[in-house]
Structure 1
Amino acid sequence: MKADPELYNFSHWRGRRKVRWPEGKTCAVWVAPNLEFYELDPPANTHRKSWAKPHPDVVGYAHRDHANRVGHWRMADVMTRHGFPGSVSLSVALCDHIPEVVEDARQRGWEFFSHGIYNTRYSYGMDEAQERAIIEDSIATVQRATGQRIRGWLAPALTHTPRTLDLIAEYGLDYTCDLYHDDQPTDVKVRTGRLTAIPYSLEVNDHYGFFIYNMSPRDYADTLIRQFERLASEGEREDGPGGTVMCIPLHSYLIGQPHRIGPFEEVLRHIAADGRAWIATAGEIVDAWREQQG
Structure 2
Amino acid sequence: MPNPPAPSDPQLYDPIPDPRPIRWPGGKTCAVWVAPNLEFYELDPPPHPRRKSWARPHPDVVGYSHRDHANRVGHWRMADAMSRHGFPGSVSLSVALCDHIPEVVADANARGWEFFSHGIYNTRYAYDMDEAQERAIIEDSIATVQAATGQRIRGWLAPALTHTPRTMDLIAEYGLDYTCDLYHDDRPGRVRTASGDLISMPYSLEVNDHYGFFIYNMSPREYARALIDQFDRLAREGQNSGTVMCIPLHAYLIGQPHRIGPFEEVLRHIAADGRAWITTAGAIADAWRTGGRAGE
1:116-153 Cα offsets, whole Å, 9 max, x none, are: 00000000110000000000000000000000000000
* Residue among 14, 17, 35 paired with 1:32: 35
Residue 255 (structure 2) pairs with residue 265 (structure 1):
no
1:204-239 Cα offsets, whole Å, 9 max, x none, are: 000000000000000000000000000000011xxx
1:150-199 Cα offsets, whole Å, 9 max, x none, are: 00000000000000000000000000000001000001110013211100
Aligned to 1:43: 46
Aligned to 1:109: 112
Aligned length: 288
- Letter of the 1:154 partner, please give it: L
Query: Which consecutive residues of structure 2, in runs of 5 or more, have no partner in the other structure?
Result: none
- Show structure 1 runs of 4+ deviating over 3 A: none
Instruction: Give the Cα separation in 2 of the matches to 1:260 and 1:272.
Output: 19
- Letter of the 1:245 partner, please give it: V
- Letter of the 1:218 partner, please give it: R
Residue 68 (structure 2) pairs with residue 65 (structure 1):
yes
TM-score, normalization: structure 2? 0.96
Aligned to 1:152: 155
Residue 22 (structure 2) pairs with residue 22 (structure 1):
no
TM-score, normalization: structure 1? 0.96
Instruction: Give the Cα separation in 1 of the matches to 2:9 and 2:136.
Output: 27
Given that 1:172 and 1:193 are in contact with CA atoms closer than 8 Å, whether structure 2 keeps it comes out as: no
SS at match of 1:184: coil
Instruction: Give the Cα separation in 1 of the matches to 2:230 and 2:114.
Output: 24
* Residue among 214, 218, 229 paired with 1:215: 218
- Letter of the 1:199 partner, please give it: P
Instruction: Give the Cα separation in 1 of the matches to 2:102 and 2:13.
Output: 42
Aligned to 2:134: 131
C-alpha displacement of 1:244: 0.2
1:1-294 equivalences under 5 Å are 6-236=9-239, 240=240, 242-292=241-291, 293=293, 294=295
Given that 1:169 and 1:194 are in contact with CA atoms closer than 8 Å, whether structure 2 keeps it comes out as: yes
Given that 1:31 and 1:86 are in contact with CA atoms closer than 8 Å, whether structure 2 keeps it comes out as: yes
Query: Which consecutive residues of structure 1, in runs of 5 or more, have no partner in the other structure?
Result: none
Given that 1:203 and 1:209 are in contact with CA atoms closer than 8 Å, whether structure 2 keeps it comes out as: yes
- Letter of the 1:244 partner, please give it: T
1:77-111 Cα offsets, whole Å, 9 max, x none, are: 00000000000000000000000000000000000
Task: Report % sequence identity.
Answer: 80
